[in-house]
Structures are given as C-alpha cells and as structure tokens.
Amino acid sequence: MFVRAIRPPVLLLLALVALCLPWLVAAAPIPAPPSIAASGHLLIDFDSGQVLSESNAEQPLEPASLTKIMTAYVVMRELKAGNVKLQDQVHVSKKAWRTPGSRMFIEVDTRVTLEDLLKGMIIQSGNDASVALAEHIAGSEETFANLMNEHARRLGMSNTHFANSTGLPAEGHLTTARDIARVTRATIHEFPELYRWYAVREFTYNDIKQHNRNKLLWRDDAVDGVKTGHTEAAGFCLVASAQKEGMRLISVVMGTSSEDARARESQALLNYGFRFFETHRLYGAGDKLADSRVWKGEREQLALGLSQDLHITIPRRQYKNLKANMTIKPRIMAPVSQGELLGKVTIELEGDTVAESDLVALQSIAEGGILQNIKDTVLLWLE
C-alpha cells in the first residue's frame, strides 16, 4: 500500500488565509456538552453522522409517540414503492376509532385519505390515525409492527423492538436515543418532500384544529421537526431537527420531566452543536481523487474516488488544520469492476482520525490483449 497526501481546494485557500490573518481562524476551546436532564439523549450531525453529545444513548427506553417516526417511515416506504397512494381512501375500523390517547378524531366506518391520516399522525400525533394507517398497509396492527421491526433491523436499530404503531405502553416496546436518531436520519434523507410535514404547526380535520406539540417550531425558526412523545412511563420525549447555514442537526431527548423540559433540553443541545461545530462536504460521490496504474488491462489509467459524499463535522475554525491522505492498493491488476474497493481516504485533525471513506474504482477496466499482458509482465518483472 502507498499513501498519498491530498488537500481539497478550499483547504489550500484557508491555509493561505490562516497565514495572512491568523486572528480570523484562531481556534476557540470546545466546552463540554450541556448537562441534559433526561433518561437518555443524543445529538448528531445529519450529514456526517458525527456524535456531538450523548448520554445513555444505547439504553432501551419506552419511546411513547416517538414510535410514530417509524410508523410514518414505513408508510413513506410503501408510498415510494407504489403499494399505496396519498389519495387512497382508508377505512376507519372500530379498533382505530377506539384507540386511546391523542387523536385526530376520525370516525368509525368512514373513509379518510391516506394523506390526511399521515398528516394527522405527524402533526397531531393521532393514535387513531396510526392504527388506521397500520391496518391499511398490513391488514392488522400486529402485522404492521412486524414490518416496523424488519425496517428497524435493516436500518441497524439493534436495540429496538416495536409492539404497536402508536407507542402506547406495551411489553417489550422499547428503543434507544441512537436508534430513533437512525430512523429520523433515514426519513430526512429518503423522503425530504414528505418530511416537510413535520414542520407544519397545525392541522384541521373534522372541523377540529390541533397544534403540533413540538414547541420548538414556534421558538426557533431553524427547527423543522420532528416528533414529541409522552406517557407516564416514558416521560416527555422529543426528537428535534434544525438546519442553519447548511448544517443540519438531530437531537433526541427521552424521559424528561415536562413539556417545557423536553423543549428546553433539546434547544440546549441544538444551540451547543451550532455554536461550537461546523460541517463540511469534502468530496462528492463520483469525484475523481486520483488516477492509478492498472496492469494487464485494456487501459493503463484508472480513476479512483468515493461512492458517496464525504462529510465531516469538526470544531469551528479548525478546517485549515485538516489533513487528507489516500492509501491505495499496490499493483492493481485487471479486470477491475466499477465500485471495487481499492483503498481508503483518511481525514485527520491534529493527528486524530476524524473520518474515513472507501476509495473505489470509478469505472470498470477489462483485461487487455495478449500484447498488453506480455508488456506489463515484463515491466512488472523489471520493477
């Protein structure tokens, strides 16, 4: 393996600025995260996935209506797959109508559009809407819960089990701050258009207007979601997401003491993240980062790059101190398949690795002809 140092163009520019105007880029110390009064919490950057603050993030806890983030995610997946449509007329069963807790006030044996039910669940946290959606998608809420658990496993939510679509207390119905952040991140990434409904402050159905319980939607213009939850056993919970100056953060607080507390603790986390950190997109998916020699192929040069965007989250004013290195496999032999792993890109800050990404072939190269094979065999022998 050999290592090659690389620097994004912006890093070079900032290095020059640092030499000329050092007071512009002087690093400020990063304080410890705020102390959060919750049973568990997590703060991550959306793009990089970097954890900025956490406590008991792996502890299984009752999620209450945070469950509905997964319920909505499953419905959105079904919409994307074409299995259901927003215009579907959904029958309201007696079970859905009788579901206790928060409601959007649908009536038994009526039909409601899937779109209204989805909004009623997201904005009003309607348990009745959640059950109606579950029954429409999977035939029964029990089967729908199995579907929720399948998606949880696919997303890597290893400490999660769902027993229903609402978050009402049930034996074994548990998740973690880290796991609920995973499905939230997937929702924002996969369904940006539908995710916008999480920012809606009120919704009227059946002539009844109800407000979104997420108080941060009124307090902070950067906040655009996501979901509240509360039961006596779970306490007051909130998943919040905010976007400011191109940086998006996701916070999760579970098991706080009141509505005000969950909003206050979430705001403290978001303020901390935006104040002391910044996120950068270093390289884009498919961008060529290097050319490498290919032996015994129909072409001698192979473009190398990343299969997905590489984002990093670092303390503010530290971008100029980043160092990027590539480690590339020696003697790459044809045939080479597009996407084949051939090395790594490593990003370091003051000697610590802050990000790594696989370096892959950006195109395929087939084996060369007889003459090319003979030529490269000789050259390899002479090396």
Respond yes or no: is residue 65 known to be catalytic.
Answer: yes
Respond yes or no: is residue 257 known to be catalytic.
Answer: no
Answer whether the bond into residue 226 is a cis peptide, omega within 30°.
yes
Dump pLDDT digits (tens) for 75-88: 999 999 999 999 99
Catalytic-role residue among 68, 119, 296, 320 = 68
Catalytic-role residue among 39, 125, 241, 292 = 125
Respond yes or no: is residue 227 known to be catalytic.
Answer: no
What is the reported pLDDT for 16? Answer: 36
pLDDT at 56 over 80: yes
What is the reported pLDDT for 380? Answer: 77
Where along the chain do the CATH 3.40.710.10 domains lie?
A: 40-256
Stretch among 191-195, 223-227, 297-301, 367-371 having the lowest mean pLDDT: 367-371
Q: How confident is the model at residue 28 (pLDDT cuts 50, 70, 90)?
A: low
What is the reported pLDDT for 382? Answer: 83
Compare 383 and 319 and report the one with higher pLDDT: 319
Which phi and psi angles does 271 have, rounded to 5°? Answer: -60, -40
Distance from C-alpha of 219 to C-alpha of 201, rounded to nearest angstrom: 12
Distance from C-alpha of 20 to C-alpha of 113, rounded to nearest angstrom: 61
Catalytic-role residue among 39, 48, 53, 65 = 65
Dump pLDDT digits (tens) for 290-343: 999 999 999 999 999 999 999 999 999 999 999 999 999 999 999 999 999 999
pLDDT at 239 over 60: yes
Give the list of residues 6+ apart from residue 280 with CB closer than 8 angstroms, or none.
Answer: 10, 311, 312, 314, 319
Where along the chain do the CATH 2.60.410.10 domains lie?
A: 2-18+282-382
Mean pLDDT of 264-283: 97
Q: How many CA atoms lie within 13 A of 136 on its CB side?
A: 30
DSSP class per residue in 98-140: H--SS-----TT-EEEHHHHHHHHHHH--HHHHHHHHHHHHSS
- The alpha-helical segments, DSSP class H, found in the chain are 9-20, 67-81, 94-98, 114-124, 127-138, 141-154, 177-190, 192-195, 216-219, 259-276, 370-382
Query: Which class is 40-256 in CATH?
Result: alpha beta
Dump pLDDT digits (tens) for 178-213: 999 999 999 999 999 999 999 999 999 999 999 999
Distance from C-alpha of 111 to C-alpha of 122, rounded to nearest angstrom: 19
Fold of 2-18+282-382: Peptidoglycan synthesis regulatory factor (PBP3), Domain 2 (2.60.410)
Q: How many CB atoms lie within 10 A of CB 16?
A: 10
